[in-house]
Structure 1
């Protein structure tokens, strides 16, 4: 091919305006060889195609059919689905009302009971299909962590009381308490009346008990009515989690189905205890695919956390005597922080008053939620002096209300003995002069602070009033 033909533009076979130029051109280079020899050779040079950024940006922005914001699409889809369900529910209610109008009292009762049973069955099936939770709820003391856990998450998963295993971690809590341990037991010696002998018995721990409940539901219960199970751990960071969980740590990784991504081998003694607690020692078949999978693993001495077992934990971030949790352990959990002073979680405490039989007029001016907000604002005002200031606040459930004079109230004695001591011992242990200066009294001991609850309330009232008064 000649140079003229090589440089000629490429055209369509039919007449038209569209044409493409070749992106390859010819060039000459001198190629060197050994012993000083060289040779001129012809090579093809491929051009790099370039585009105008302004043109492309305009084309992309103005192109028809461009996808919308995925978040907006998801929200629109959710709204349409909610509207569809609302319309269907209204139609169903109208049909039921028409049916009930044609029946007598006994017939209406029978239909209502049947419909309610169907609704509960649907809710149980929906709860069984939900993915399990593996959640740590944390925050300052009194923010209602245990309350939120039970009122929200356990209800959402339809977890009944008998399907909840609860424990609390502490510095002496061990792997044996969590999974199981072998302990000596003194029993009467049948061969020697009046004498006893020592035998050994395996005591299953809290995790093994929860696992057994979940295995029993998955293996013995028919599909569609499998109940969810929960293991609830209070004060998670007061125990040495790495030591307590041991090899169970490997099971905390869950796949998209909610089951453990990995499996671990369980010692024969612990495996026997699991079968015994789950009441599946003589069971070889299961009614669900999940149950059959669990039985197959147990035959090889392996276990996983099934999808119907959720694990919840709570912890206070302001505790001083806590254990460190490494990042590998923490990333296997979902986390939810409950902040202090969230009015939406005050619930039935919104209208609770403070009662003080010594200073009734002073305490009657305070609502409990306003008092807590004022305490937290006073603490936050000293953020430059107090370390970890966010964890030093309190929640509305820091003190439980009582019935006083036929009314629900917060006794001033509990504020004096619990809240003031928390401020003295936890919030201001190194800066007690801040309290003394604010109250205008000398505070050398906790007794001095306890005797001046009235001064503390007046100081908080003035502090709150100054904060609510706009600057001129």
Structure 2
């Protein structure tokens, strides 16, 4: 049966692991064993190469033992079981095998285990490799040296050069070619530089040497790359102390440099840089921070999966680092940033122990608040008043104050009691109430090593000029630092709140100015069909990157399996969607009113189809085209008879809908199955 190819599968961005502090050495032995596993497992795409020994360590899977002994001509597997594939932690293997050489994807057989699980404790868990096409390229090359293969592999498994120089040089050249896409990060002279090997070659071509050491600590792929160079595996780069130097500057080398640049030009990718992750924490960082796109608007027709795309990006992020809001016509600056709001303060009835009071006062003292003792006495007078003077003194001294402050505590208790006496039941006071932008801003500055996401749904349903005010200037980011290029003065109320959270003089509110930190990422979604609600001006638009989310007609994703059931006759949602979207385009000359694959979220019956899908089609497209050739609300096989939305609520509802489907050219599932059977 001849059918069309499957649609392009959407894949996740790679986690570039730029901050992983894991080392990986004995590169030769790793490459040799990866290839040995591929060959010994009959060149299959996936190999589960390890099994547990005692629950804490792993060894070669017993199924592979005899195969490898035969293939390599050896009797002892000790060198195999001591290979880094079994001893190194997962993240180091992923950096080397996946990110640098791209030989395959290394993963735990138990997919509930996080990649960071082997960082501490020394435990090793069962793993598999999903091979990529690079392993086949190596196989094609090595198959030309079948007689020398056991000798070559055994030497490399011992991390030694083989006796066949041409094999060694060929594999080294291939591994280097595989690694040219890899992105590295290094810090030098207080600057962070992201680069590929192309950047090293360019300096070599100019007669320069290149910095070969991070001023703090080598991390991520750069750490493994250093081992690769140090072990003499790179044909063009060698190490001399803290420098990379060119092995040679022959014509062939210069030509290779240019070929690498040409090849990188053929790869249509944005450069993605991940934030640094400390190796002694189990916190999983964000997938990546794009150095050029810290503000993205995902736009497309209704239901195309814009929110789903954002959810996929932030799905693995700690919820404390993701802030969400939805714009609507009543959204304003105050509801986005914050403002003063009245607050009713009920009389305090909570009981505090003496130790709790000591901890509260200590925290207030250490947080750089002005007059911490006075604030403490006023706020917690109800808990302090019943205490004896000796108990109050004990709290004062334990929190790090001298006994001279005891008098100040007594005054503050009296003040707090007087304030509450004004209204015994309830006191109305005003305080600054921060909203989503301010909360995200503070969180990002509190921990600049972790990405913080601000998600704005339906951004064009609000008046962005009114909502952002002069804050839109902060969206201009410096390409080097990622911070706002033009800080702005904040309102006094906002300054006071942020100083309370971050501290006076903090970079996030220095001189009373706001400045977005580099780790604050803002994603927004926009329905193109709603773009007339509040048009965005060009000054606001240009500060965002825009990414179109197309309709996905694939039957291999969730929406591809949704079914429309019309009185017992079933239709595939994506079959209907593809046909009706063609009609929408013909009627409107625009894709804005088309429906996305997630316009519905599940299988639907007649009632939901009429009230959600048909109502949308009528209201947004066909109502204005009724009586014209562009109206596709038509029934009967030839589609000659028009119908209105209200006609769908009569006794012939199912007949109209089935004829509507026929007119569009949508076949029922049963008919499609019959045709497929006949074709076979």
- Give the shorter-chain TM-score range: 0.5 to 0.7
CA offset at residue 198 of structure 1? 2.5
Question: Is 1:351 paired with 2:574?
Answer: no
Q: Classify the secondary structure of the residue corresponding to 2:432.
A: strand
Are 1:154 and 2:306 counterparts? no
Which residue in 2 is equivalent to 1:456?
A: 657
In the alignment, what sits opposite 1:170?
A: 328
Paired position in structure 2 for 1:394: 595
In the other structure, the counterpart of 1:447 is 646
Report the alpha carbon displacement of residue 351 of structure 1 after superposing the two structures with TM: 2.7
Q: Which residue of 2 aligns with 1:307?
A: 518
Does residue 91 of structure 1 match 2:321? no
Residue aligning to 1:56: none
Q: Say if 1:128 and 1:227, in contact at 8 Å, map to a contact too.
A: no
CA displacement 1:92-111 (0-9 Å, x = unmatched) = 9759x999779533233996
Contact 1:159–1:230, Cα closer than 8 Å, also in 2: no
Where in structure 2 are the equivalents of 1:73-472 lying within 5 Å?
Answer: 91=31, 94=34, 104-108=54-58, 116-117=115-116, 125=276, 130-131=290-291, 133-151=294-312, 153-154=313-314, 159-188=317-346, 190-218=420-448, 226-257=449-480, 258-276=482-500, 279-281=501-503, 295-296=506-507, 298-319=509-530, 322-340=533-551, 342-344=552-554, 347-356=557-566, 359-360=567-568, 362=569, 364=570, 366-382=571-587, 386=588, 389-401=590-602, 409-433=603-627, 434-438=631-635, 441=641, 443=643, 446-451=645-650, 452-464=653-665
**Contact 2:444/2:519 (8 A) holds in 1:** yes
CA–CA distance in structure 2, aligned partners of residues 352 and 149 of structure 1: 22
Q: Is the 8 A contact 2:576 2:666 kept in 1?
A: no
Structure 1 length-normalised TM: 0.63
Counterparts of 1:102 and 1:416 in 2: how far apart (Å)?
A: 57
For residues 393 and 273 of structure 1, the distance between their equivalents in structure 2, rounded to whole angstroms, comes to 45
Give the direction of change, closer, same or farther, for the CA distance of 1:102–1:390 in structure 2 (3 Å limit). closer
**How far apart in 2 are the matches of 1:119 and 1:344?**
37
Q: Which 5+ residue runs of structure 2 have no aligned equivalent? A: 1-26, 38-47, 60-85, 92-114, 120-218, 221-273, 278-286, 347-418, 673-680
Higher relative contact order (CA 8 A, sep 6+): 1
2:454 partner SS: strand
- Separation in 2 of the partners of 1:129 and 1:138? 20
For residues 441 and 100 of structure 1, do their structure 2 counterparts lie closer, same or farther at Cα, with a shift above 3 Å needed? closer
Cα distance in 2 for residues equivalent to 1:239 and 1:89:
59
Distance verdict in 2 for CA 1:92–1:133, change over 3 Å: farther
Structure 1 gaps, min length 5: 1-86, 219-225, 285-294, 402-408
Query: What secondary structure, in the 3-state scheme, does the structure 2 residue paired with 1:458 have?
Result: helix
TM-score w.r.t. the length of structure 2 is 0.45
1:250-298 CA deviation, whole Å, 9 max, x = no partner? 101111132211111112321232244xx4337x7xxxxxxxxxx2462
CA contact (8 A) 2:314 2:322 kept: no
If you compute each CA radius of gyration, which structure gives the higher value, 1 or 2?
Answer: 1
| CA shift in 2, pair 1:165/1:456, >3 Å | same
Match of 2:17 in 1: none
